[in-house]
Amino acid sequence: MANLEEFFTITADIESNMIGACPAGFRLDAEFHGTATSPHWEGERPVSGFDYVTVDSAGHVQLDVRARIGTGDEVIAYRGSGVSGDDGIRELISFETASETFAWLNSATAVGYGKTDGVTLQVTAYLVRD
């Protein structure tokens, strides 16, 4: 049975850029910048990224996130795909890194849960472990 292990928590400011009506629905790009904390490292690390948000004709909010945590030799890139609604953000996350310290993330999967008020974002990711 799979278990969840907390990996990181992101707290970030969001700047939304409206794209408008597109074939897939209403689109906006949400740029975010903030910090990430984790039991896997000491202190805070910078985080930045984009969430390409699409609201379809039924009002469903689809998330497509590209972001990076850290700097220098320990950058962790991640990609999240999910949904957002009244009950918050839910996403499936995969990672890519050249860091030897975090190379194990290249085959890891996480689930993210969070919330946004439109100007701030908070997401906690949990690694899926056997």
Ordered per-residue pLDDT tens for the chain, 130 residues: 889 999 999 999 999 999 999 999 999 999 999 999 999 999 999 999 999 999 998 889 999 999 999 999 999 999 999 999 989 999 999 999 999 999 999 999 999 999 999 899 999 999 999 8
pLDDT value for 130: 87
pLDDT for 53: 96
Q: What DSSP assignment string belongs to 6-43?
A: EEEEEEEEEEEEEEEEETTEEEEEEEEEEEEE-TTSSS
Identify the CA nearest to 17 among candidates 8, 27, 6: 27
Res 89: pLDDT: 97
Per-residue b or e along 7-30, where b marks 16 or more CB atoms closer than 10 Å to that residue's CB:
bbbbbbebeeeeeeeeeebbbeeb
pLDDT at site 28: 95
Set out the domains of the chain in order of their start, with CATH numbers. 3-129 (2.40.160.20)
Instruction: Specify the DSSP class assigned to residue 51.
Output: E
Instruction: Please state the pTM of the whole predicted model.
Output: 0.93
pLDDT at position 57, please? 87
End-to-end CA distance of the chain: 6
Instruction: Give CA 26 to chain center in angstroms.
Output: 20
